[in-house]
Structure 1
Amino acid sequence: MELTREEVAAPGRANVGQLLAALALALVVFVGVPLWANDYWLNAILVPFLILSLAGLGLNFLTGFAGQLSLGAAAFMSVGAYATYNLLVRVPALPLAVDLLLGGAVSATVGVLFGLPSLRIKGFYLIVSTLAAQFFVVWLFTRVAWFSNDDTSGVLSAPALTMGPWRISTPASRYLFVLGVATLLFAFGVRLVRSELGRCWMAVRDMDTAASVIGIPVGRTKLLAFALSSFVLGIAGALWAFAYLGTVEPDGFNLNLSFQILFIIIIGGMGSIGGNFLGAAFVVLLPILLSNSAGALGALGIAEDQLQNLQKIVFGTLIIVFLVKEPDGLARLVQLAWQRWTAKEQE
């Protein structure tokens, strides 16, 4: 059966449409947002949203794609932040991009060390093992003054960021810097999960015994998941400290942050690249929504000092709902909605 001219041209038109849509999106986020968004949106919403999306990507490599449970995401972020800080301060000749990559590499090394127990244990016991990283890292950075440039408090002011002649000091410049790094790492993530290593991760996640039978080196695959996950988390941690908090301190990477990142991948969708954006948007916007709804909630008898507890209740309820009803998270719901809309358009 021969294809019509319209059917032959359809794939090309679809590719052109996707390219134009991507260019329009890039124009909006790289040009439109810095021009029109105010400092509050840039500092308090968009920068943390991008960094948490990036942290979600790192944890998704490990948990969503490789199936290795972890509660040490914030610990690996702090390793990246302190490593990058020391590189910036002690080796000022290195470019900022190299400092970030080396900070991520240090975090990857630490991630592999704490990932070694995954060769023997899994599930709840692995969670406990990675949780130990959270407490050990905080202890190390507060007790060993060298990591904090001989400041025993462990609280450091973030150094000035520059890339050649570009000073990253304004809200718009910090946003663009974070956006550029996130874009590169998400592009890397898309290629990675579609590669042979990504397929090996998913095979180990689904059934590591079967993966071993077909010749996949399970131990090496798990350690690579810890390494690449911690690499991305380390860079996200440096951005969290330098571009968002403005300080490098252990309390900025506490256990609550690890839980937030875990919530991001559960709500957004484990094993989904786009789900990290959806989960991060939810985590960032929910507290703002509750804060702006304080008046309405007050009429229901919920005081302002109870909003944080309400936020925890909402998160806990949603996690239970998603785990039971839709384990693939918001990403799957968006995909289903898009399929229904396109089906109606074709009718």
Structure 2
Amino acid sequence: MPPALAAALAPGRRLALPALPLRGAGLALLLAVAFVAIPLTANDYWYNAILIPFLIMALAGLGLNLTMGYAGQASLGTGAFMAVGAYATYNLLLRLPELPLPVSLAGGGLIAGAVGLVVGLPSLRIKGFYLVAPTLAAQFLIEWVFNQVGWFSNDASSSAISAPRLVVLGHDLSSPAGRYALTLTSVTVVTVLAWRLVHSQTGRNWRAVRDGETAAAVIGVPVARTKLSAFFVGAAVSGVAGALWAFAYLGTVDARSFDLDRSFQAMFIIIIGGLSSLSGSFIGAAFIVLTPILLAHLSNAFLGGSLDGGQISNLQRILFGALIIGFLIKEPNGLVALLGRLRRPVR
């Protein structure tokens, strides 16, 4: 018997199952459900009200998590970066119609990343909570620019402009199932790239700067470049999410859809789901998207629908505020850590 197997089966030793193969099998099953099972069973309501907004907000939370969770750089500009991605993709498709839709989405993300790079420049001088100020200023400034400068909206009479038709390789994706396929494919590709980046030297540099900027500089980590790369990548991911929010979910490009509330929503996602966790972004987004729907159904079931939309929205804010305070005090690592503790006895 091999020595390693004999040691594992020795009396008093617990048999440990290989975690990576099990995790890989779980991810493969999840992708099979998302790409195969859901399109066979879901209806338009599930696509429009649950699945598409969940995937897009998970991607927006992922972008903020790379900047704030992994690199430790506070930001309240997610909504602004989403707006840049949406308007940049719109203008690329409008002014360069020969570009395929995936290339325009990637281009919009890169332009949003360049804007995030500029917004992240104060991080070279400002640390900690004070870094929220310049990102908050960028949030208001970028939203104002898109509302005031008509070139970005092709001089449309209204600030809300219709998104171009979604076509990939001659296939029309304007149906709910098509928009879901586009969103799911985009989110999957970006998440895989983010996973590879987090587990690369760049990701290790992010965590080193987050845990101790001075110590990171001592061991040779390029602190300035690491901070700016975190802002660039996080803003680029948020830019792709903004383009999908405008094209695949709303069907319009409007700066008011990417206001400060959207930035707070992305922050709620990573706080509730879990900082420094890619899966936490998806768990937090599921919670954020499903909670209003759950509250509406509970209101109809137990209160006879006596609560209107405004009251349900206020209850949602109260619930989110209480949960954020509770998580910050009792479980700073969010739902992903809580679920991990519950999963250990099963494993």
TM-score by length of 1: 0.93
- Following the alignment from structure 1 to structure 2, what is the Cα–Cα distance between the partners of residues 11 and 217? 39
Query: Which of 79, 82, 88 is equivalent to 1:77?
Result: 82
Aligned counterparts of 1:19 and 1:139: Cα–Cα separation in 2: 45
Stretch deviating more after TM superposition (116-125 or 43-52): 116-125
Tell me what 1:204 maps to.
Answer: 209
Bigger drift between 14-23 and 257-266 goes to 14-23
What residue is the counterpart of 1:115 in the other structure?
120
User: Could you tell me how far 1:214 is from its partner in structure 2?
Assistant: 1.3
CA contact (8 A) 2:299 2:306 kept: no
User: 2-side partners of 1:248 and 1:303: how far apart?
Assistant: 28
CA 1:214–1:144 in structure 2 vs 1: closer, same or farther (change >3 Å)? same
Correspondent of 1:149 among 145, 148, 154:
154
Could you list the runs of 5+ residues in structure 2 that have no partner in the other structure? 10-14
Measured in 1, the distance between the counterparts of 2:22 and 2:90 equals 43
* Structure 1 counterpart of 2:31, from 26, 29, 35: 26
> 1:299-310 residue pairs with structure 2 within 5 A?
305-310=310-315
- After TM superposition, the score normalised by the length of structure 2 is 0.93
| Structure 1 residue identity aligned to 2:341 | L
What is residue 101 of structure 1 aligned with on the other side?
106
Deviations 1:263-320 (A, max 9, x none): 0000000000100111000000000011111145648996664211111110000000
CA–CA separation in structure 1 for the residues paired with 2:190 and 2:281:
13
Shift of 1:139: 1.1
Give every structure 1 segment of 4 or more consecutive aligned residues whose post-TM-superposition deviation is greater than 6 Å.
5-8, 10-15, 299-303
Tell me, yes or no, if the aligned pair for 1:82 and 1:238 is still in contact at 8 Å: yes
Q: Is the 8 A contact 1:142 1:152 kept in 2?
A: no
Q: For residue 171 of structure 2, what is the aligned residue in structure 1?
A: 166
- Aligned in 2, Cα 1:68/1:179: closer, same or farther, shift over 3 Å? same
Aligned-partner Cα distance in 2 for 1:298–1:192: 48
Aligned: 1:290 with 2:306: no
Does residue 61 (structure 1) correspond to residue 66 (structure 2)? The answer is yes
Q: Identity of paired residues, percent? A: 53
Q: 1:242 to 1:304 in 2, by over 3 A?
A: closer
Gaps of 5+ in 1: 343-347
Deviations 1:9-61 (A, max 9, x none): x9998766555444332221101101101100011100000000111110001
**In 2, distance between residues paired with 1:13 and 1:129?**
45
Secondary structure in 1 aligned to 2:167? strand
CA distance in 1, matches of 2:307, 2:184: 37
Map 1:1-347; keep pairs closer than 5 Å.
2-4=3-5, 18-295=23-300, 298=303, 305-342=310-347
Aligned residues: CA RMSD: 2.2
Q: What count of residue pairs does the alignment treat as equivalent? A: 341
Identify if the C-alpha distance between structure 1 residues 20 and 306 changes in structure 2 by more than 3 Å, giving closer, same or farther. Answer: closer
Inter-partner Cα distance in structure 2 for 1:17 and 1:115? 39
Quote the offset at 1:153 in angstroms. 3.1
SS in structure 2 of the partner of residue 223 of structure 1: helix
Query: Contact conserved, 1:294 with 1:304, CA < 8 A, in 2?
Result: no
The answer to whether the 8 A contact 2:300-2:306 is kept is: no
Equivalent position of 2:12 in the other structure: none
Asked if structure 1 preserves the Cα contact closer than 8 Å seen for 2:113 and 2:231, the reply is yes
* Cα distance in structure 1, aligned partners of 2:273 and 2:109: 24
Shift of 1:75: 0.2
> Quick one: distance in 2 between partners of 1:338 and 1:295?
33
- Preserved contact between residue 143 and residue 152 of structure 1 (Cα < 8 Å): no
AA matched with 1:279? G
Check conservation: 2:299, 2:305, Cα contact below 8 A.
no
Q: Decide whether aligned partners of structure 1 residues 309 and 109 sit closer, same or farther in structure 2, where only a CA change above 3 A counts.
A: same
